[in-house]
Amino acid sequence: MKMILVTTVEEYKSEVFKLFRKAGIENFSGSDIDGYKNVPPLLYSSSWFPSERGGAASNLFFSFTEDDKVTELFKYLEEFNSASHITNPIRAVEIPIERTV
């Protein structure tokens, strides 16, 4: 069993749902998050409220699932990222699980 974590900008949320389904991963959880990049300080001072730093609307998904489904998902994510030529690719990590309750 593995745990997978997937992050994406809001724009590709529905695509992640499709790729999870295509890989046979039916059970997963998700959360809205803010994504940040290192931005030059000049951009911060140009806003009306320079102490407030807004992030990009993003999503985090995770699932505990079988190894073969993780392999399939990674294959589909790589295909999507390479075919889309996007500046914010869908990111994923695989974490091995030693014990579960």
Domain holding 50, by residue range, is 2-96
* pLDDT score recorded for residue 8: 95
Answer whether residue 81 is part of any domain: yes
Please report, for the domain that includes residue 86, its CATH number.
3.30.70.120
Answer whether residue 70 is part of any domain: yes
Quote the tokens at residue 84. 């889309």
Write down the pTM of the prediction.
Answer: 0.81
Answer whether residue 101 is part of any domain: no
Number of domains comprising the chain? 1
Amino acid at 32: D
Summarize pLDDT for 52-101 with one digit per residue, the tens.
556 788 999 999 999 999 999 999 999 999 998 888 899 999 999 998 88
**For the stretch 13-52, what's the b/e string if a residue is b when 16 or more beta carbons lie within 10 angstroms of its beta carbon?**
beebeebbeebebeebebeeeebeeeeeeeeeeeeeeeee
Quote the tokens at residue 20. 């999870």
Summarize pLDDT for 57-69 with one digit per residue, the tens.
899 999 999 999 9
